[in-house]
C-alpha cells in the first residue's frame, strides 16, 4: 500500500509539473504574439520609411548625379544602407518568431494528447516494474520462511537422532553387562558341575549293591521313550546285552548320592533356564536394533529418492514429516516373538503352539547388502544441510558396526553354550560303564543309575518347566520331580519314592 501511495503521489507531482509547463507555454505564446504584433507594427513603419526612403533615394540619386562629391550625400547613403540591413534583420526575426508561434499552437492543439499517452505509458511501465519487484520480494519472503521451517525440522530431527543414539548406547551397555554376568554365571555353574561330578564319582565307588526283581525293571524300561542326542549319549542300555539289566535297591541309608544328584540336576536346570532367558532377551534386543537400523535406512532411501525426483533443491514439509519417523516402533519386550532354543522337541512346539525363530543368520544378508558401496550423489550448491545428512549417514554406519559386533557376540555366546552342552554330554558319556558279565553287582552300578537319572532330567531341561510336560510324562517322572522340587520332604518319603521309582529286577541270563 505504501508503494501504491508513493506512485500516486509521483503521478500527481508529474501532472502538476505538466500543468505548469502548459501554463508557461501559454504565457510564452502570448508574449510571442505580442512581440509579433510589435514586429508587425515596426515592419509597417519600416515599410513606410523604406518607401519614403526609396523615394528620397531616387531623388537623392538624381541629385547625386549632379553632385557626387558632396559629403552629406555619402553619409546619407550609409545611413540608408544601415537601416536597410536592420530592416532585413528584423524581418528575419519576425519570420522565426512566427514559425515558433505556429509550432507552439500545433503542440497545444494536437500533441498534448500524445504527450499524455506517452506519460501514461511511462507510468504503466513503472507500475509493472514495481509489481515485479513486489512479487520478487514476496518470493524471497516465502523462500526464507521455508528455509526457517526446514531448519527447525532438521533441528528436531537431530535432537531425535541424538536421543536414539543415547538409547542405543544404554541398550548396548545393558547387553554387555548381561553378557558379562552370563559369562560369570556360566563359569560358576561349570565349577559347581565339576565339583558335583567329582563328589558323585567319589560316592559311586563306595556303595554296596543288591539284586532286585526282573519284572519291575522290564516295566520301567517299557515306559521310557527315545530322546535327543544328549539323552542318547547317557543311555545305559546300549553297552550291554538286552538280557542283562541291573538295578539297585535304594534304602534310606543310600539317600546321600541322590541328594547330590538332585542338587546337580537343579543347578543344570537353573543354568539352562537362565541361558534360554538370556538368549531370548538378546534376540529381542538384536531384533529391535535391526528394526531401528532398517527404519533409518528406509528413511535415508526415501529422502534420496525424493531429492532425485523433485525439481526443487529443498524437500517439502510433508515429505520430511513422512520420511523422518521418530522412534515410535520401539516398544517393550512384549512386541518381540519369544526365542526358543534349537534343541527343544518338535512335539512340545506343536503342543504349546510356539513360533520358532532362529536368529543365528538374522541381519547377515542385510549387512552384506548394506556394505556395498553406494553411488555418490552430487548435491546442488547452496544446500546448508548436506553436511548434517552426511553426519547422520556416518552415525548409521557406526550403528551398523555395533550391530555386527552384537551379532558376533551372539554367535560367540551360542558357541559357548553349545560347548558347555557338549561338555556336559561328554562327562555323562564318560560316566557310562558296561554291565558285569557274571551278573554280580559292584560300586559302578550306582553311577549308571545316577547317569540314567541325569539323562532323564536332561530330557526335561530344554522344556523350561515340568508343568509343560504331557500327562504321561508327568506320571513317569512325577516322583523324581517332586522329590527334587520339595526340599522339606522327610527322609522316609524320599527313600520310599526313590525305592518305588528305581527298583528293578535282575534279568536271568539264558543259554
> How far is Cα 268 from Cα 458, in angstroms, rounded to an integer?
8
Domain ranges (residues) in the chain: 2-145, 205-502
Q: Please state, in angstroms and as integers, the Cα–Cα distance from residue 450 to each residue in 156, 183, 247, 264, 265, following that order.
A: 65, 28, 11, 11, 10
Contact between 402 and 168 (Cβ < 8 Å): yes
Cell 514586429 -> residue: 39
Does residue 261 surpass a pLDDT of 80?
A: no
Q: What mean pLDDT do residues 436-444 have? A: 41
Helices and strands, counts by H and E, the chain: 13, 0
- Position 203 confidence tier, pLDDT thresholds 50, 70, 90: low
- Position 357 confidence tier, pLDDT thresholds 50, 70, 90: very low
Lowest-confidence range among 104-108, 219-223, 384-388, 451-455?
219-223
Q: Give residue 486's pLDDT.
A: 46
> How far is Cα 202 from Cα 446, in angstroms, rounded to an integer?
11
The per-residue b/e assignment along 388-410, b for 16 or more CB within 10 angstroms, e otherwise, is: ebeebeebbeebbebbeebbeeb
Does residue 498 surpass a pLDDT of 80?
A: no
> How far is Cα 504 from Cα 249, in angstroms, rounded to an integer?
8
Contact between 470 and 351 (Cβ < 8 Å): yes
Q: Please state, in angstroms and as integers, the Cα–Cα distance from residue 480 to each residue in 427, 484, 494, following that order.
A: 22, 6, 9
Lowest-confidence range among 71-80, 380-389, 403-412?
380-389
Contact between 244 and 435 (Cβ < 8 Å): yes
- Position 41 confidence tier, pLDDT thresholds 50, 70, 90: confident
Q: What is the pLDDT of residues 462-490, one digit of tens each?
A: 444 444 444 444 444 444 444 444 443 33
Q: Give residue 62's pLDDT.
A: 64
End-to-end alpha carbon distance in the chain: 125
- Length of the chain in residues, anyone? 511
Q: What mean pLDDT do residues 440-466 have? A: 47
Calculate the average pLDDT of the chain: 65
Cell 546442488 -> residue: 380
Cell numbers for 356: 520358532
Instruction: Tell if the pTM clears 0.85, that is, is over it.
Output: no
DSSP codes, 278-299? HHHHHHHHHHHHHHHHHHHHHH
> How far is Cα 53 from Cα 57, in angstroms, rounded to an integer?
6
Higher pLDDT, 157 or 435: 157
- Ramachandran region of residue 212, left (φ > 0), alpha (ψ -120 to 50) or beta? beta
Amino acid at each position: 500500500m505504501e508503494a501504491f501511495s508513493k506512485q500516486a503521489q509521483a503521478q500527481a507531482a508529474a501532472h502538476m509539473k505538466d500543468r505548469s509547463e502548459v501554463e508557461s507555454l501559454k504565457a510564452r505564446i502570448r508574449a510571442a504574439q505580442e512581440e509579433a504584433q510589435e514586429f508587425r507594427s515596426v515592419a509597417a513603419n519600416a515599410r513606410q520609411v523604406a518607401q519614403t526612403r526609396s523615394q528620397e533615394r531616387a531623388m537623392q540619386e538624381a541629385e547625386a548625379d549632379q553632385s557626387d562629391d558632396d559629403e552629406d550625400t555619402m553619409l546619407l547613403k550609409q545611413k540608408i544602407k544601415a537601416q536597410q540591413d536592420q530592416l532585413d534583420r528584423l524581418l528575419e526575426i519576425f519570420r522565426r518568431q512566427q514559425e515558433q508561434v505556429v509550432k507552439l499552437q500545433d503542440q497545444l492543439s494536437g500533441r498534448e494528447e500524445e504527450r499524455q499517452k506517452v506519460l501514461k505509458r511511462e507510468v504503466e511501465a513503472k507500475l509493472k516494474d514495481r509489481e515485479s519487484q513486489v512479487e520478487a520480494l514476496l518470493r524471497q519472503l516465502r523462500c526464507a520462511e521455508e528455509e526457517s521451517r526446514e531448519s527447525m525440522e532438521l533441528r528436531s530431527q537431530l535432537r531425535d537422532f541424538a536421543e536414539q543414539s543415547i538409547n542405543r548406547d544404554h541398550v548396548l551397555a545393558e547387553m554387555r553387562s548381561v553378557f558379562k554376568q552370563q559369562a560369570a554365571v556360566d563359569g560358576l555353574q561349570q565349577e559347581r558341575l565339576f565339583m558335583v561330578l567329582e563328589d558323585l564319582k567319589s560316592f559311586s565307588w563306595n556303595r554296596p549293591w543288591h539284586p532286585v526283581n526282573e519284572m519291575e525293571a522290564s516295566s520301567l524300561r517299557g515306559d521310557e521313550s527315545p530322546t535327543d542326542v544328549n539323552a542318547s549319549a547317557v543311555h545305559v542300555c546300549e553297552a550291554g546285552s538286552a538280557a542283562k539289566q541291573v538295578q539297585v535297591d535304594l534304602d534310606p541309608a543310600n539317600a546321600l548320592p541322590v541328594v547330590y544328584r538332585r542338587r546337580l540336576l537343579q543347578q543344570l536346570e537353573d543354568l539352562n533356564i537362565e541361558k534360554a532367558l538370556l538368549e531370548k532377551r538378546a534376540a529381542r534386543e538384536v531384533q529391535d536394533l535391526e528394526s531401528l537400523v532398517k527404519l533409518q535406512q528406509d528413511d535415508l532411501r526415501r529422502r534420496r529418492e525424493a531429492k532425485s525426483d523433485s525439481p526443487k533443491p529443498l524437500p517439502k514439509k510433508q515429505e520430511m514429516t513422512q520420511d523422518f519417523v521418530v522412534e515410535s516402533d520401539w516398544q517393550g519386550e512384549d512386541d518381540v516373538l519369544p526365542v526358543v532354543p534349537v534343541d527343544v522337541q518338535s512335539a512340545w512346539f506343536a503342543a504349546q503352539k510356539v513360533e520358532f525363530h532362529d536368529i543365528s543368520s538374522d541381519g547377515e544378508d542385510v549387512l552384506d547388502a548394506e556394505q556395498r558401496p553406494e553411488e555418490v550423489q552430487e548435491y546442488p550448491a547452496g544446500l546448508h544441510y548436506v553436511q548434517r545428512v552426511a553426519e547422520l549417514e556416518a552415525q548409521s554406519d557406526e550403528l551398523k558396526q555395533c550391530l555386527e559386533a552384537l551379532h558376533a557376540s551372539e554367535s560367540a555366546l551360542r558357541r559357548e553354550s553349545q560347548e558347555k552342552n557338549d561338555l556336559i554330554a561328554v562327562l555323562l558319556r564318560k560316566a557310562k560303564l558296561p554291565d558285569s558279565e557274571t551278573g554280580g553287582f559292584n560300586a559302578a552300578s550306582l553311577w549308571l543309575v545316577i547317569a540314567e537319572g541325569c539323562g532323564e532330567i536332561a530330557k526335561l531341561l530344554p522344556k523350561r518347566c515340568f508343568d509343560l510336560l504331557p500327562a504321561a510324562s508327568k506320571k513317569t517322572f512325577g516322583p523324581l520331580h517332586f522329590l527334587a522340587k520339595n526340599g522339606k520332604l522327610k527322609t522316609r518319603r524320599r527313600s520310599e519314592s526313590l525305592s518305588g521309582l528305581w527298583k528293578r529286577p535282575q534279568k536271568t541270563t539264558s543259554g
